[in-house]
Amino acid sequence: MERLRETRLFKLYSAGNPPFISKQDRNKEQEKDMSLVFEKIKKHGILDYVSAWYKKAADYIENTNIEAAFVSTNSIIQGEQIEPLWSYMFSKGIVINFAHRSFKWKNGLRNNAAVFVVIICFSKKPRSKKYIYDYADVSSEPLRLKVKNINCYLVDGENLIVKGTLNRLDVEDTPYAAMGNMPNDNKNLILTEEEKRLF
C-alpha cells in the first residue's frame, strides 16, 4: 500500500538506454551532439556520451514530478567527469532517488557487453525513502541500503563535488603529473605477451 501511494507522486517515461561511448570513442556526429547539448557548459568534452541524456532529462523534467533513470557507464560517477556533469545537475535542483553502484552489465546476449555500469534514478522531487543498491563484488546480488541523501559519488552524504586542479600540492620538490599512467593512445602502449617477449 505504501509503495502504491508513493508511486502516484511520480510519472515514469521509458526510453532506450544511451549507448556506452567514452570520450575517446565518439565519432564526429556524436561530438556535434555533445557540443549542441552542452553548449556553454565548460569541460563537457571529457564526458561520456551518456551524459547528454542526463542533461536533456534534467532540462525536460523541470517543473514536473517526472523521474528519469538510466543504466550508465560508471565513469560518470568517477574522476574528472563528476564536476561538469553533476555541477549542472545539482544546479537544476536534481536529487538522486535511488542508485545501483557499479556492477557488471549483462545484456542476455551471447556476446555479452564487457562494461561496468551504474543505475541512477533522479528527479526534481525527492522521494521520502531513498535507497542505494550495493554489490559485494561486481557480479553479486545487490544489498539494499536505506539512506538520507545520495550524492554524485553514489554514497550517503552531502552533495559535495571534488573539483580538479592543475596546481600541485604546496610541497617542495613535488613533481608535476599531467595524466598519470593511463594508456590513452588507442592501446598502442599495451603489449601482448608475444610483443613483450620480442621487445
**Residue whose grid cell is 514530478:** 65
Q: List Cα–Cα distances, 174 to 56, 167, 168, 170, in angstroms.
A: 41, 11, 7, 8
Buried b (16+ CB within 10 A) or exposed e, 102-137: bbebeeeeeeeeeeebbbbbbbbeebeebbbbbeee
Task: Determine the Cα–Cα distance for residues 21 and 37; give it in Å rounded to an integer.
Answer: 16
Number of residues that this document lists for the chain? 199
Buried b (16+ CB within 10 A) or exposed e, 163-177: eeeeeeeeeeeeeee
First to last CA, the chain: 67
Closest to 113 measured CA to CA, from 103, 124, 121, 123: 103
Q: Provide the pLDDT for residue 179.
A: 63
Q: Provide the pLDDT for residue 124.
A: 94
Domain ranges in the chain are 2-165
Q: Provide the pLDDT for residue 6.
A: 40
- Per-residue pLDDT tens listing for the chain (199 residues): 333 334 444 455 555 567 777 777 788 888 898 889 998 888 888 898 899 999 999 999 999 999 999 999 899 999 889 999 999 999 999 999 999 999 887 766 666 666 788 999 999 999 999 999 999 887 788 999 999 999 999 999 999 998 877 676 676 777 766 666 666 666 677 778 888 888 8
- The predicted model scores a pTM of 0.75
Neighbouring residues of 175: CB distance < 8 A, sequence distance ≥ 6 = 168
Q: Provide the pLDDT for residue 109.
A: 65
55 CB-side CA count, 13 A = 21
Task: Determine the Cα–Cα distance for residues 18 and 46; give it in Å rounded to an integer.
Answer: 17
Amino acid symbol at 120: I
